[in-house]
Structure 1
Amino acid sequence: MTPEFPRPQRLDQIGTGDNQIVLAADADERAALAKRFGLLSLEALESRFVLRRESQGIVARGHVSARVTQACVATGTPLPATVEEDFAIRFLPEPAGGSVDDEVELSADECDIVFYTGNAIDLGEAAAETMALALDPFPRSPQAASVLKAAGVLSEEEAKPFGALAGLKDALAKKGS
């Protein structure tokens, strides 16, 4: 798969000091990313990276900013949203054999791990994935609750274990009146 927003950064150009890089997706790249991530549109995508070579790979810290339009999951209504997301990523060479056997536990102050092959890391893909992970997976318009209720979808409150019993209690109370 060819990435929609390729920004390879050669490893031999990353020193031990901080390397600052600013990226912005152009209109064609944003349209392709919107399609990939199921967005109605992606109006802006920018990211700032500070790269540093460390003994445990390349560490990228920075910030992703985006303006998107998502569709309400119930009504399809366009919903504008913004993403302002800080990130910390550790790029490591792909393990021999291409598989990772050990599960890695990360604390809150540690970096996400991204494996790479070859002599470059893709900062554009890292920015795109960071943006996608920050999006609301189930965006809802103000009308969503009524549309879902009319379709017979239970609210979170109704779906709780005692929600069904509360409905039964209300039905029995009406019957007894």
Structure 2
Amino acid sequence: MAQLNPEFSRPVRLDTLGDVPRAISVEAGAEERAALARRFRIVAIDRLEAEAMLTRIGDAVNVSGRIVAAATQSCVASGEDVPETIDQPFALRFVPEADAEIGTADEEIELEEAALDEVGYAGGAVDLGEAVAQTLALALDPYPRAPNADAILRAAGVAKEGEEKRTGALAGLKDLLKK
């Protein structure tokens, strides 16, 4: 769901799109990157750019492209800064909010492999910047680890020498399954 005032807004009017793909490049400025870093609760975003091809098909807009970003997060074990570079393709489809599939927490949704993520829009424009910001959030490592994270965890008694990395809410599940 898009915010009312996204930090990195790049609206693209629907009446400028057609069935011939339109290339659009977006880049977040320093203030936008700082605001996104606060929103995502990470240390910093030093770079956020995307190249995209937008094609309108009726009320829907298909988007494919590439996101390039440089971010810094805190290590889950030590709190040290962990730099991360993201360079990956993305694909999504903007659909009118009335057509967007809105599931509930209890509802199980199965997507086909070729299915595109759907982003709802209202009015006469889609927000490519917000879609790129959300793509970045999904691409970030959910458990960033500094090179010395294993040593810190062993020193804290959380992991033993030679053990596989086990952190997070389900870390003890492996031991339970052995019993």
Q: Normalised by the size of structure 1, how large is the TM-score?
A: 0.82
Question: 1:1-177 maps to which residues of 2 (within 5 A)?
Answer: 1-55=4-58, 57-95=60-98, 100=102, 105-154=110-159, 155-156=165-166, 159=172, 160-161=174-175
Which has a greater percent of helix?
1
The amino acid that maps onto 2:20 is G
Aligned residues: 164
Relative to structure 1, the CA distance from residue 64 to residue 93 in structure 2 (aligned partners, 3 Å threshold; closer, same or farther) is same
SS across alignment from 1:136: coil
The alpha carbon displacement at 1:118 in A equals: 1.2
Q: Which runs of 5+ in 2 are unaligned?
A: 160-164
Relative to structure 1, the CA distance from residue 18 to residue 89 in structure 2 (aligned partners, 3 Å threshold; closer, same or farther) is same
1:35-89 deviation digits (Å, cap 9, x = unpaired): 1112211111000110001146110011100011111011111111101121111
SS across alignment from 2:175: coil
Bigger Rg over Cα: 1
The alpha carbon displacement at 1:10 in A equals: 0.8
Contact 2:67–2:88 (CA under 8 A) maintained in structure 1: yes
Contact 2:18–2:57 (CA under 8 A) maintained in structure 1: no
Contact 2:59–2:96 (CA under 8 A) maintained in structure 1: no
Q: Percent identity?
A: 43
Supply the RMSD in Å over aligned alpha carbons.
2.5
Q: Which runs of 5+ in 1 are unaligned?
A: 166-177
Q: Normalised by the size of structure 2, how large is the TM-score?
A: 0.81
